[in-house]
Amino acid sequence: MKKVFITLFCLAISAAAVNAQNNPATPAQQPQHPMAPPPQGPAAATPAAPAPPDENAGKFKFEEETHDFKEVPEGPLAEYDFEFKNVGKSPIVITEAHGSCGCTVPKWPSEPILPKHKAVIHVAYTTQGRVGMINKDVIITSNAQQSPMRLHITGTVKAKPAEAAPAPVPPPAPVAPKK
């Protein structure tokens, strides 16, 4: 029984090898020698260049794209309003804005921002438990020419001053037994 199984196995391997020799791979699947010139023709598709921005689309013009909070105390939210104007020819519709982490939360207008109109993207950074440097981004996705648009916040969160521990209360004095 072993001999039959081994014979059938060898025949199957041989048939697969012969079949592979008769069905050449397409040119894109054939391995290339490292020194061979790159393939030509439709199989050698070049990556498409990015589409130029729509000249008629809305366009952000921020008063500032980076805000430095300088030093902020640990605990309260560090908040800032990034004000911008649409200097393009079409309304800007913001579809999403998100921070680079959960501690940075943006709020953006839900209505379209018409050309020559101003709007605000409010950014709140949670300082509680985050002592040290602030270096976060807010990414805005919209139909504007600059999409995605990146805003940046920086600064330093200073630790709360250590609260002085209350003075220990002395234990009550022992009461002498009555006689």
Q: Per-residue pLDDT for the chain (179 aa), expressed as one digit of tens each?
A: 667 667 766 666 766 666 655 555 555 555 555 555 555 555 555 555 555 567 778 889 999 999 999 999 988 889 999 999 999 999 999 999 998 888 889 999 999 999 999 999 999 999 898 899 999 999 999 999 888 899 999 999 998 877 655 667 777 777 767 76
CA distance 139 to 152: 9
CA distance 135 to 64: 16
- For residue 103, give Cα distances in angstroms to 2, 72, 75, 77: 67, 15, 12, 10
pLDDT reported for residue 162: 72
pLDDT reported for residue 175: 72
Domain locations in the chain as residue ranges = 60-157
Nearest to 78 by CA among 131, 148, 120, 150: 131
- For residue 142, give Cα distances in angstroms to 18, 53, 81, 112: 56, 13, 18, 10
> Tokens standing for 159?
């630790």
pLDDT reported for residue 167: 66
Fold of 60-157: Immunoglobulin-like (2.60.40)
